[in-house]
Structure formats: structure tokens, C-alpha cells
């Protein structure tokens, strides 16, 4: 099983390229393992990114332009390694990503071993995490880095925040 997460562009591409390792969320997730990055169909994120010099320069350095980013497709595969309370992130990580800075609540999903696909795979995204269609999974598995761990779901007692209290109510 490979889960997927839908991200707005340009953040989907920045995560897919490994340029940004974190994605802020208002909720925690208990899934760890293979993850597909799906670029949303809406242009809302691109419109919001137009004014962010940091975002545009990061894309430019990698040879991308906002107006040519893929939409409505799975664009990369990697590993969802961790879900961290935002307040537990080191300050340099928070400063590095404008989407993380200034947020006092929520979580950050940390991605590793990202690989862009040679060709995006058209797909409909969903909210939260979702399971990729069975016919797409073999192509994604072939693209996975060997270092990616197998899929697993943590139990509520396994998730401990920095204050040492167990977290419940995580989303899959």
C-alpha cells in the first residue's frame, strides 16, 4: 500500500524535488512509509506563491517556472518519515520555510528519499492522506528509493509530543 498526499503547487514540486522537507498540517497523522506527492488541480497555491521571492527563486534555481508546473497528477514518490508538532521543530527549520514560520499550532510532515517521476501520473486528489489506485502502485514502487521503509501505522501510544504526553486522534 502506498499513501498519497495532495499539495498545492508550487509546494508539491518543492517537496518532490527534496528542496523542502516539511509540509505543515493542522492535524497529526499516524502513517509512516511510502508516500506519493500529488499536485492539486487548483491554482490557489501558485497565486499565493507569486509574491514569495523565496519560493520563486527556489523554483528558478531548479529550472522550474510557476506557470508550467504540473497539476492534477502524482509527481513524485518518497517516504513520510515523521509527523512533528510545529513547536518541536528547530528554529532554523521554521525560518527556512515561510509556511512554517509564525505558526504556533499544528504539525509538520517530514519527507525523505524523494524522487520525481519521469512522467506525472494523472490522478484525482483528496483531502488528508489517501491510497493510490492499485493500477498506479507498481509504477510508484519501481521509483521508490531502496531506503524507504515499509508502510506502518503508529498506535496512539506510539506518538509522543515534546512535552511527553501521548497524542491521540491522528488521521491516516
pLDDT band at 159 (very low <50, low <70, confident <90, very high): low
Mean pLDDT of 108-112: 95
Pull the grid cell for residue 83. 509527523
pLDDT band at 77 (very low <50, low <70, confident <90, very high): very high
Lowest-confidence pick of 52-56, 118-122, 144-148: 52-56
Supply the pLDDT for residue 39.
96
Do 10 and 66 contact (CB within 8 A), yes or no?
Answer: yes
Q: Residue 138: how many CB atoms within 10 A of its CB?
A: 10
Query: pTM for this structure?
Result: 0.85
Phi/psi for 11 (5° steps) reads: -65, -30
Domain ranges, ordered by start, for the chain: 3-153
Pull the grid cell for residue 96. 527556512
Dump the DSSP string for 24-65: EESS-B-EEEEEEEEE-S--HHHHHHTT-HHHHHHHHHTT--
Supply the pLDDT for residue 66.
78
87, burial (CB in 10 Å: exposed 0-12, middle 13-18, buried 19+): middle
What's the mean per-residue pLDDT of the chain? 85
What pLDDT, in 10s, does the model give residues 15-65?
A: 999 988 999 999 999 999 999 999 999 866 666 666 667 777 788 888 888
pLDDT band at 166 (very low <50, low <70, confident <90, very high): very low
Segments in the chain forming alpha helices (H): 11-16, 44-49, 53-61, 91-96, 137-143
The answer as to CATH 2.30.130.30 being correct for domain 3-153 is yes
Amino acid at each position: 500500500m502506498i499513501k498519497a498526499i495532495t499539495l498545492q503547487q508550487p509546494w508539491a514540486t518543492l517537496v518532490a524535488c527534496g528542496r523542502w522537507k516539511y509540509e505543515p498540517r493542522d492535524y497529526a497523522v499516524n502513517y509512516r512509509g511510502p508516500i506519493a506527492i500529488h499536485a492539486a488541480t487548483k491554482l490557489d497555491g501558485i497565486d499565493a506563491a507569486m509574491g514569495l521571492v523565496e519560493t520563486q527563486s527556489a523554483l528558478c534555481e531548479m529550472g522550474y517556472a510557476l506557470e508550467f508546473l504540473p497539476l492534477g497528477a502524482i509527481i513524485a514518490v518518497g517516504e513520510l518519515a515523521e509527523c512533528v508538532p510545529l513547536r518541536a521543530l528547530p528554529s532554523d527549520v521554521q525560518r527556512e520555510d515561510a509556511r512554517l514560520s509564525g505558526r504556533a499550532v499544528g504539525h509538520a510532515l517530514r519527507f525523505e528519499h524523494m524522487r520525481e517521476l519521469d512522467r506525472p501520473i494523472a490522478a484525482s486528489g483528496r483531502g488528508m492522506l489517501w491510497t493510490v489506485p492499485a493500477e498506479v502502485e507498481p509504477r510508484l514502487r519501481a521509483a521508490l528509493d531502496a531506503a524507504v521503509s515499509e508502510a506502518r501505522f503508529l498506535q496512539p501510544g506510539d506518538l509522543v509530543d515534546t512535552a511527553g504526553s501521548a497524542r491521540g486522534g491522528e488521521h491516516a
